[in-house]
Amino acid sequence: MTAAGEGTTTGAGEQMHALVERLYPLCRSITGDGVRATLDIVGEYLPLRVHEVPTGTQVLDWTVPQEWNIRDAYVADASGHRVVDFAASSLHVLGYSVPVSATMPLTELRAHLHTLPDHPSWVPYRTSYYKPEWGFCLAQEILDALPDGEYEVRVDSTLADGHLTYAEHVVPGQVQDEVIVSCHVCHPSLANDNLAGIAVATFLARALAETTPYYTYRFIFAPGTIGAITWLARNAERVERVRHGLVLACAGDSGQLTYKRSRRGDAEIDRVMRHVLTASERPHHITEFTPYGYDERQYCSPGFDLGVGSLSRTPYAGYPEYHTSADNPDFVSPEAMADTLAVCREAFAVLDRNRRYVNLSPYGEPQLGRRGLYDSLGGRSDAKQAQLAMLWVLSLSEGEHSLLDVAERSGLPFGAVAAAADALHDAGLIKA
């Protein structure tokens, strides 16, 4: 990436962090008005096509559930003081809690209270999507301080037929073949998982829109698991166009970048991400596919077998703050999100430019001097590298090797190889 591009990405870091802070208070779940409010805000940055899928719709082996919305929830002591208050944080309520209005002793209430004894000041994130239940999440130190006695318990929620909501943004390309970028929008007040992913996806889409990409890029903002499954069920024909994909999650913490390969293990996106991360000399990890994690497991399921990997910093469940109130806007940084964004841009630049060529003068080495190709290198500090890149491209342009193959085999930077291919193409020595 050029210095100008790096500056743009760095500037976007502060804007992405501001977006995370703005989205943080909203109570998101797999359905409901919190998802809609989130997409409304993202829609201020990108034009979105929002989809509403009715409750009861069959989506592959799943069924779209009832829609959950919540207005208020609390646990109050005998004086009326709210010892647990949904208004203070959306994490305080068990996700998808059914309505309840009751008074009960602490001994009975304890069965519905969730804490983290190992981190007594943190509030856990818990859900009960597909089993009717209610509950509250609170800090262990708050629970320890509660005296025995009667407590008023109130969950003002609705669980009724409605819709599952997801959205798409498309950056048109030169071809209809698609790259999908997916992030989940179902978590409440959790900054790294996955507001940072939403922010990076949003600003990646904006950056791509300023270019003329080769592929069409489709950004999917959907609830985890059921949202990706719903998208796949409703896009069976479009799935045939998907050539590559990337799931973004946990994109803003201070850990090293981690790329999780697709189920195939050798998809083009896997090779591109490995090349970009290695060439950039960033500290990073490459991990193998497992059928557990984020929505890469849906896109990579055997029936679809799409070449979709996952990019994060510290992977899910790999940091103590994961799924707790400690995953707040202070836990993510503009610098980390800017770095994640930069890697995505670098990877997609390689993916977009990676082609196979055929040498039109394959019998012996063509005379580059009389075509002005050597003269064009005069005075360049990288003239020797550029000349070598031309020779490598000519040597491996038989229609089988891609430019990424050339870069990896030659040890030359991908940018130098791509520039050589452009020069040779313009000189009529190779064709795509």
Residues facing residue 58 across a β-bridge: 63
Q: Are residues 59 and 71 in the same domain?
A: no
**Domain edge (last residue) among 322, 353, 384:** 353
Q: Are residues 342 and 253 in the same domain?
A: yes
> How would you classify the pairing of strands 242-248 and 308-312?
parallel
Helix (H, G, I), strand (E, B) or coil at 126: coil
> H/E element holding 6?
helix 3-23
Contact 109, 75 (CB under 8 A): yes
Q: Are residues 155 and 252 in the same domain?
A: no
Distance of CA 11 to the CA centre of its chain: 20
Q: According to the 3-state scheme, what is the secondary structure of 281-298?
A: CCCEEEECCCCCCCCHHH
Give residue 384's pLDDT: 85
> How would you classify the pairing of strands 178-184 and 242-248?
parallel
Helix (H, G, I), strand (E, B) or coil at 157: strand
Q: Are residues 168 and 316 in the same domain?
A: yes
How far is residue 393's CA from residue 187's CA, in Å, rounded to a whole number?
Answer: 47
Total domains in the chain come to 3
Look-up of token digits 């109050």: 76
Q: Are residues 45 and 130 in the same domain?
A: no
- Please say whether the dihedral angle defined by the alpha carbons of residues 124, 127, 128 and 132, taken in this order, is positive or negative: positive
Q: Are residues 242 and 98 in the same domain?
A: no
Contact 86, 93 (CB under 8 A): yes
192: left (phi over 0), alpha (psi -120 to 50) or beta: alpha
Contacts (Cβ under 8 Å, ≥6 apart) of 396: 405, 406, 409
> H/E element holding 275?
helix 268-280
Amino acid at 249: A
Q: Which domain holds residue 276?
A: 3-65+163-353
Contact 188, 95 (CB under 8 A): yes
Helices (H) and strands (E) in the chain, counts: 13, 19
Kindly report, residue by residue over 79-122, the tens digit of the pLDDT.
999 999 999 999 999 999 999 999 999 999 999 999 999 999 99
**Domain edge (last residue) among 132, 160, 188:** 160
Would you say residue 9 has pLDDT above 90?
Answer: no
Geometric angle at alpha carbon 322, from 316 and 328, rounded to 5°: 125
**Alpha-carbon radius of gyration of the chain:** 25
Q: Are residues 131 and 169 in the same domain?
A: no
Contact 255, 339 (CB under 8 A): no
Would you say residue 413 has pLDDT above 80?
Answer: yes
CATH number at residue 426: 1.10.10.10
Q: Could you tell me the pTM of the whole model?
A: 0.94
Would you say residue 378 has pLDDT above 90?
Answer: no
Give residue 1's pLDDT: 31
DSSP alpha helix (H) spans, 281-371? 296-299, 334-353
Alpha carbon separation from 270 to 256, 258, 260, 303, 310 (Å, rounded): 17, 12, 8, 19, 9
Q: Take residue 277 and report the two structure tokens written for it.
A: 């991360």
Q: Are residues 31 and 75 in the same domain?
A: no
Q: Are residues 39 and 86 in the same domain?
A: no
Q: Are residues 321 and 193 in the same domain?
A: yes
CATH number at residue 272: 3.40.630.10
Give residue 379's pLDDT: 54
* pLDDT tier at 2, thresholds 50, 70, 90: very low
Look-up of token digits 């798409």: 168
Kindly report, residue by residue over 190-231, the tens digit of the pLDDT.
999 999 999 999 999 999 999 999 999 999 999 999 999 999
Residue 17 marked as a ligand binder? no
CATH number at residue 106: 3.50.30.90
Query: Which of 258, 256, 270 lies closest to 307, judged by CA?
Result: 270
Distance of CA 363 to the CA centre of its chain: 47
Helix (H, G, I), strand (E, B) or coil at 238: helix
Give residue 7's pLDDT: 43
Q: Are residues 110 and 218 in the same domain?
A: no
> Which residue would you say has higher pLDDT here, 221 or 369?
221
Would you say residue 253 has pLDDT above 70?
Answer: yes
Would you say residue 187 has pLDDT above 80?
Answer: yes
How far is residue 346's CA from residue 99's CA, in Å, rounded to a whole number?
Answer: 48
Residue 382 marked as a ligand binder? no
**Domain edge (last residue) among 328, 353, 378:** 353
Quick check: bond before 328 cis, omega within 30? no
Backbone φ, ψ for residue 27 (5° rounding) = -90, 100
How far is residue 98's CA from residue 132's CA, in Å, rounded to a whole number?
Answer: 6
Any idea of the CA torsion for 161, 162, 164, 165, to the nearest 10 degrees? -170
How far is residue 179's CA from residue 239's CA, in Å, rounded to a whole number?
Answer: 10
* pLDDT tier at 383, thresholds 50, 70, 90: confident
Residue 193 marked as a ligand binder? yes
Kindly report, residue by residue over 257-280, the tens digit of the pLDDT.
999 999 999 999 999 999 999 999
Q: Are residues 334 and 403 in the same domain?
A: no
Mean pLDDT, rounded, for 329-351: 98
Helix (H, G, I), strand (E, B) or coil at 54: strand
> H/E element holding 7?
helix 3-23
